Structure 1
């Protein structure tokens, strides 16, 4: 999943525009950076789809807890290297001003990964991703409840439509709904809560600090349970597990790099391409093609998410314009 899209900050590439420069060279470089950033996000979503396919393959024979543990060991190692190379130094970087929230984020993300992994046991890639794409809707609803963010009637209506799309996919009472769908929805809600806590922690901690805590908490938690779920893997599956870890870190690197080249507001809509890649990969690897209702429901969910995103950006632009007007007065 693109369940690890972490704590990126607005990129510095727009500094030319902020400094008042509008030269053709500066504009050309910015446009080039934006194109590269978009390409990196598209690449990341494709990698996430292939990563999910490997996860689906592995969870058929091995405990999801074992797979999560291996991923978090790599996650923690990368986070430690990033903290050690940070300008503030390792000790200052790993010192959080909100450690309780950081620990909660780490625990919630472990739960989310476990839920999605379990969902892959019984559902196809596209079905899981189509349902999981509802997490931005939950983020908006939870932000209104817990952060007091103002949500207008248009976004509430879009949320209602999006949740209607979820019902189209699940079709309660038709016999289609299964445990995999429940796991996916729990994962989407958990990831939305993770995003909310990331916003809170981001007001005081750096992106590297947040990244380190997520890896450290997950690695410690899963390693504590090592005696309970350690298993021996076939050599070929060890290779698949290693590739899974490499893919996960590569995709995260692509996302982080993309956000240094282009603003999140430009890149966010391209994250929905993971659903397209999941349909393609699911059909090629597992000969699994979603039914018509999943396509319709997925279209409704993604469309609602994009509209909510559009309204959020429009509201942010209006607030900025109003603030500039007040300052001018």
Structure 2
């Protein structure tokens, strides 16, 4: 069998490494969001995300300088990075705002409508072809989102709109990342997104608190500078480090094998988040959350399956940035392709 045939129709020889890295990366992201949910009770989200950005800067900046090309500190496509960082900052400020009002499983399940929105926006604005199979999967997934939100008049909570809005902002930011394409590396993209969004969040948090007096139920939105004791400094450092390790693991996954192979493993986040929430906070997901989670995951997995079939008909280079979807992850999906086999 020729080298081309092996590449086109067989699994990548480093598939096991890629899958292991993305599953471990999702585990780290679950821990990161668990730390955020715990710390939000004592510290405002602006400070937590600002500190997380600072830790990321201290990790990413030396890596870019040491590794050199293709990574770079100064890029001509900075306006796209700036706009993307704004969408990222807006989206995840909404995501973490929902934490005191919803379980981690509920917030995460609704957020994972983002891959469905990315596919829809790519079809609308990037001209990507979407066949009947993908249209059916998208409808199926959005039904799961509606069920997870449980929009009954007597039980609907406004907070359920927050992770949905975050998913939309995240989807827009990833469409912008498609415009950046392979002009910047994963580390450069991550550096600009994390650092710029952190600066924006700190400025936004300060400005909003000048205009709005948040009540006790929104204490996590107040502008309060905590006392930096040794204990909370360790927690802040752990928060930033865990997030960056997860980011680097997922980066590695998409560097060693194809995006279409490992992207479906993003959904390991959902059961892991539900399990941690049950163990740590004794949170039991509602039946509607579990049903919605199943429908969203099934839809996303089927989209991944169609992507894998599509990629087997092409010879594509490995992506420069990721196509992953995970809360708080600033990576870029640049290797999605049209569905060419709809029979």
Q: TM-score of the superposition, structure 1-length normalised?
A: 0.82
Q: Which of residues 295, 298, 307 in structure 2 aligns to 1:303?
A: 298
Structure 1 unaligned spans of 5+: 1-16, 322-329
The structure whose residues are more often helix, as a share, is 1
Q: Which of residues 190, 208, 224 in structure 1 aligns to 2:187?
A: 208
- Report what 2:282 is aligned to: 287
The 5 Å alignment of 1:1-329 reads: 18=3, 31=13, 33-88=14-69, 93-224=72-203, 229-233=223-227, 235-318=230-313
Task: After TM superposition, give the deviation of residue 97 of structure 1 in Å.
Answer: 3.1
Q: Find the aligned partners of 2:253 and 2:311 in 1 and give their Cα distance.
A: 22
Q: Find the aligned partners of 1:177 and 1:76 in 2 and give their Cα distance.
A: 39
Q: TM-score of the superposition, structure 2-length normalised?
A: 0.79
Aligned length: 297
Deviates more, 1:225-234 or 1:180-189: 225-234
Task: After TM superposition, give the deviation of residue 153 of structure 1 in Å.
Answer: 2.0
Contact 2:95 2:163 survives alignment (8 Å): yes
Question: Cα distance 1:225–1:138, how it changes in 2: closer, same or farther (>3 A)?
Answer: closer
Question: Cα distance 1:56–1:19, how it changes in 2: closer, same or farther (>3 A)?
Answer: same
Q: Find the aligned partners of 1:210 and 1:291 in 2 and give their Cα distance.
A: 37
Question: Cα distance 1:184–1:21, how it changes in 2: closer, same or farther (>3 A)?
Answer: closer
Question: Cα distance 1:165–1:216, how it changes in 2: closer, same or farther (>3 A)?
Answer: same
Deviates more, 1:280-289 or 1:257-266: 257-266
For the residue of structure 2 that corresponds to 1:122, the secondary structure is coil
Contact 1:130 1:298 survives alignment (8 Å): yes
1:255-292 CA-partner distances (Å, limit 9, x unpaired): 11222332222211111011111111000110001011
- Report what 1:9 is aligned to: none
Q: Find the aligned partners of 1:316 and 1:36 in 2 and give their Cα distance.
A: 19
